[in-house]
């Protein structure tokens, strides 16, 4: 299968690699491996990739591996900035009509965020302007889903997520909430700011070399889940962000954009523990029933 003589064409090499998967007992893995090889080879042939360019690619992946650790994930960042994550999301989304739209997970989610009660704050240290985030989790018919879980995380006004920082409270700007019997959730957050994805590694150099910027429009992350429903990974975007139409990771969908409404310090709806001027943001999340269970 792998013997290649002088009359061998590049296509013959591709065929030899595909044939090497003949013994694969997992049909899905064989399908994926075969398609990946065919498309990667077609890419190299189309651009007539040189050895020097191949080596640059090896170095890129090596550097991405070197900078990746428990809290920095350069490979997810690469997938995100090449639109690959949003594409995988779109493929899944075609099977999940009728619910709130999904978007990228991003590289900053971590498990084990603190469980917090209705209306409590995720702000454990000064992180920006306070925002009261509230809404309901609903099924596609508008019925509330009690006991749904919201795992939320966001950056502060230093543009960073807590996991990017060596110091500070690990639970700051993260929390897990459970909806009440009426499907409602509420928490105190801060208004997120636009920020740059980590651009001090190979992905940042790729963006600079290709004439792109590293900015993401301000947003809150959440994963919403409930028994019997498809888990939703999404964002709420700030309608006043500068980068809604040039997100470095192609994550914006218009249906996910919401307004942070300014509120005065003496507004009677001011949540407990909040001082001075604040914002409110209302958003519901619609989950669709799990497929075929």
The interface with a second copy within residues 80-109 (CB under 8 A) comprises 82-92, 101
Number of residues that bind a second copy (CB under 8 A): 83
CB 122 within 8 Å of CB 116 = yes
Q: Return the residues of window 178-237 that contact a second copy according to CB under 8 A.
A: 206, 209-212
Query: Is 255 near a second copy (CB under 8 A)?
Result: yes
Query: Is 261 near a second copy (CB under 8 A)?
Result: no
45 token code pair: 């042939």
In angstroms, give the least distance from the CB of 244 to a second copy. 7
Closer Cβ to a second copy, 29 or 261, answer by number: 29
Burial 58-79 (b: 16+ CB within 10 A, else e): eebeeebeebbeeebbbebbbb
Q: Among 171, 147, 148, which residue's Cα sits nearest to residue 161? A: 171
In angstroms, give the least distance from the CB of 281 to a second copy. 20
In angstroms, give the least distance from the CB of 196 to a second copy. 15
Closer Cβ to a second copy, 211 or 227, answer by number: 211
Q: Among 194, 115, 122, which residue's Cα sits nearest to residue 149? A: 115
- Tell me how far apart the alpha carbons of residues 25 and 16 are, in angstroms, rounded to a whole number: 18
Query: Is 273 near a second copy (CB under 8 A)?
Result: no
Q: Among 244, 268, 272, which residue's Cα sits nearest to residue 256? A: 244
Q: Return the residues of window 12-51 that contact a second copy according to CB under 8 A.
A: 13-14, 16-17, 20-26, 29-33, 35-51
Which H or E run includes 136? strand 130-138
């Amino acid at each position: 299968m792998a013997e290649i003589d002088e009359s061998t064409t590049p296509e013959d090499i591709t065929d030899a690699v595909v044939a090497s998967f003949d013994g694969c007992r997992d049909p899905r893995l064989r399908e994926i491996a075969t398609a990946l090889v065919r498309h990667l080879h077609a890419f190299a042939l189309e651009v007539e990739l040189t050895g020097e360019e191949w080596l640059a690619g090896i170095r890129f992946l090596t550097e991405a591996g070197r900078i990746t650790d428990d809290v920095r994930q350069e490979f997810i960042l690469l997938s995100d900035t090449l639109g690959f994550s949003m594409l995988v999301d779109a493929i899944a989304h075609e099977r999940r009509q009728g619910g709130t739209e999904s978007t990228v997970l991003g590289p900053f989610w971590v498990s084990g965020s603190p469980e917090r009660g209705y209306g409590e704050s995720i702000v454990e240290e000064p992180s920006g302007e306070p925002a009261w985030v509230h809404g309901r989790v609903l099924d596609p018919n508008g019925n509330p889903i009690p006991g749904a879980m919201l795992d939320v995380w966001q950056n502060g006004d230093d543009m960073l997520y807590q996991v990017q920082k060596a110091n500070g409270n690990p639970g700051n700007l993260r929390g897990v909430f459970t909806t009440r019997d009426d499907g409602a959730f509420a928490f105190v957050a801060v208004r997120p700011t636009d920020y740059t994805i980590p651009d001090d590694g190979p992905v940042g150099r790729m963006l600079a070399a290709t004439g792109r910027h590293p900015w993401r429009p301000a947003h809150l992350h959440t994963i919403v889940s409930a028994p019997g429903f498809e888990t939703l990974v999404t964002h709420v975007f700030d309608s006043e962000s500068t980068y809604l139409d040039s997100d470095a990771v192609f994550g914006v969908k218009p249906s996910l954009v919401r307004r942070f409404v300014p509120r005065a310090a003496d507004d009677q709806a001011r949540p407990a523990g909040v001082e001075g001027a604040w914002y409110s943001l209302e958003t519901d999340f619609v989950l669709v029933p799990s497929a075929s269970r």
